[in-house]
Structure 1
């Protein structure tokens, strides 16, 4: 009976002892701090999302360059047009007459210039020679009359007034003869330099008037500068149009342009001609090509304007939409949360957990990517580091890892 009590007592003690050991182990484990860690991974690149705004590649408000009555309106809202197509035109009667008048002036100025360059005709020169000969005869007659009058005056046969009259006639004939000879000399010599220059200037002015009239006539038509879609027509045939008044609103939606402001620290990733991924909300992913990079910093935004062309053949992208450009930014090391890196004096460090024990590891940092920082050296892929609160833990401290 005693033996039976001893066995039962032994079993109870063993049970109590066993329970006591397990409770102690559980208590020690409970005292260990539970920490959250980040597992380090090698990262080659990281997308940097930037907001962009959608614009149509080409857009134009078409207006006549001249005033007049709209004679034809060849399109309606929503019409598809091709480059060079005549969309609308004015009545051209008035402008056509202006062109014809200007062309007539050119012909007249050209004829006058040719005549000036050729000089006097043989017939005109011959007539002028006859005029000189005739004037020479009149001059000789006037000379003889004056000489006779002098003799008669000396003899008292005529008065002083009759002598003066004979002298005046002689002087007038001298002047007329001189003018006739000068005219003949000019005809024989040909056009003067200033006469030719004047004729050239008149012809040039007339020609410029023709070009102006042609340009005005061209401005009586609205021609599509590119292929696209008419999205608005403000006037109809019979309406009066004024120069510069928007008549047709035309857009080319086959391709859109994204405008994005890029910070200086990521500009090196943008190269003209490169392809970049683009995401438009509700429209999925697509690709675009960088067509323009501004070399000048925008003083208001502190960023650089970059334009990206995106194909829009199915017309799903509409001007005014917001898109996201996901340009990949090169990473030279591993990315870890910013709050996981501490600093002591000038040295950066992280707290690595190895086999449940915390160890300090000095690191070299690089660029900052949002909430992450680039680690250039000091860590390896697969290392587990404390995510936050690193100042509350000491090197060598035993912890329990919770995970990322």
Structure 2
């Protein structure tokens, strides 16, 4: 956005220099104390600014896969960008530690079971109390639950693909220690050509003007001279931590084409609705500094004043004014170089 504003300022400055070179001779009225000027009334114009963005292809359903238990990563069987099938083995932990935990749990179950059976028999003979027998039973139940939990975790010592898709990120490496719930792989699920999204980053100002459902046109470098249709599928409610921009997903209809995850694409998001903006000829600007500028307003037939305005984009003839003027104001568009705030003017008819 800053680059756009700087470019705008440079372009406007060049235009002002050009105008100044053409306007070498001041036009005066018959009264030597008056400078003849032309004025233009401030008008409103419906502006439809499209938003141009770029990004990378992803799929609609993204899954961050992790192990259920902690351990050392033994093998990662896939690479980034690789297509995977449902049920395919993607990664596995070293089984030595987990197998040892399982054996310990089995031994604990056997021991607590013997203790419980012995306590039950002794209780029948009134050798131990009811509390001692119940404590032995509780220890046995806890040991069984622990064994069940480790056996369950053992199933998640391997990561399998839950659906067909593409590996978009490899977040862990072989030999690293990982924990429960820590993502190791990111997989974008793909069940058809219509599941692809172009994920783009936008500024906060652009984010505020984008609504879900807005139409967009998309082009990929991989499919030259082809334009695909799409629409804004969703937009994030928080900025991306890595880049600081807001992410917007554009769902794209590729018809019979089959792209790949990670391909670079460009999109043009159509405006949701036209916005009424104040416009003035760029000849009216007397000073420009970024988005800040100044113009002369004719207050009546002979007096003027200099005001500060905030400008936006511009086209071949007009500049969009964000604030500082209102509809109907008369801006001076000629002989500004010969004016100051004490000048007297005559408005050309």
Shift of the alpha carbon at 1:261? Answer: 3.3
Structure-2 residue corresponding to 1:369:
312
Q: 1:197 aligns with which of 135, 141, 145?
A: 135
**What 5-or-longer segments of structure 2 have no aligned partner?**
1-25, 28-36, 288-293, 340-344
Structure-2 residue corresponding to 1:321:
264
Q: TM-score, with normalisation over the residues of structure 1?
A: 0.46
Structure with the largest fraction of strand: 2
Shift of the alpha carbon at 1:319? Answer: 2.3
Aligned residue pairs total 275
Q: Give runs of aligned pairs for residues 5-404 of structure 1, distance below 5 A.
A: 43-57=45-59, 58=62, 79-82=83-86, 84-86=87-89, 99=102, 102-103=105-106, 105-106=108-109, 108-110=111-113, 112-113=115-116, 116=119, 120-121=123-124, 125=125, 187=127, 190-192=129-131, 196-197=134-135, 199-201=137-139, 203-219=141-157, 221-229=158-166, 242=175, 250-252=187-189, 254-264=195-205, 266-271=206-211, 273-280=212-219, 282=221, 284=227, 286-295=229-238, 305-311=246-252, 313=254, 314-316=257-259, 319=262, 321=264, 323-326=266-269, 328=271, 330-340=274-284, 349=297, 368-371=311-314, 372-374=319-321, 376-378=326-328, 390=336, 395-397=346-348
Shift of the alpha carbon at 1:397? Answer: 3.5
In structure 2, do the counterparts of structure 1 residues 389 and 78 end up closer, same or farther at CA, with 3 Å as the change threshold? Answer: farther
Partners of 2:281 and 2:210 in 1: how far apart? 26
Q: TM-score, with normalisation over the residues of structure 2?
A: 0.51
Partners of 1:40 and 1:279 in 2: how far apart? 37
Shift of the alpha carbon at 1:377? Answer: 1.5
| Deviations, residues 307-340 of structure 1 (Å, cap 9, x unaligned) | 2242365344752625345352742245345553
The secondary structure found in structure 2 opposite 1:229 is strand
| Deviations, residues 319-376 of structure 1 (Å, cap 9, x unaligned) | 2625345352742245345553579xx98648xxxxxxx99999x9997432332475
Mark the structure with the bigger radius of gyration.
Answer: 1
Shift of the alpha carbon at 1:388? Answer: 7.3
Contact persistence 1:56–1:257 (CA under 8 A): yes
Aligned-pair Cα RMSD in Å: 5.8
| Deviations, residues 39-68 of structure 1 (Å, cap 9, x unaligned) | 998643421535342252437688897669
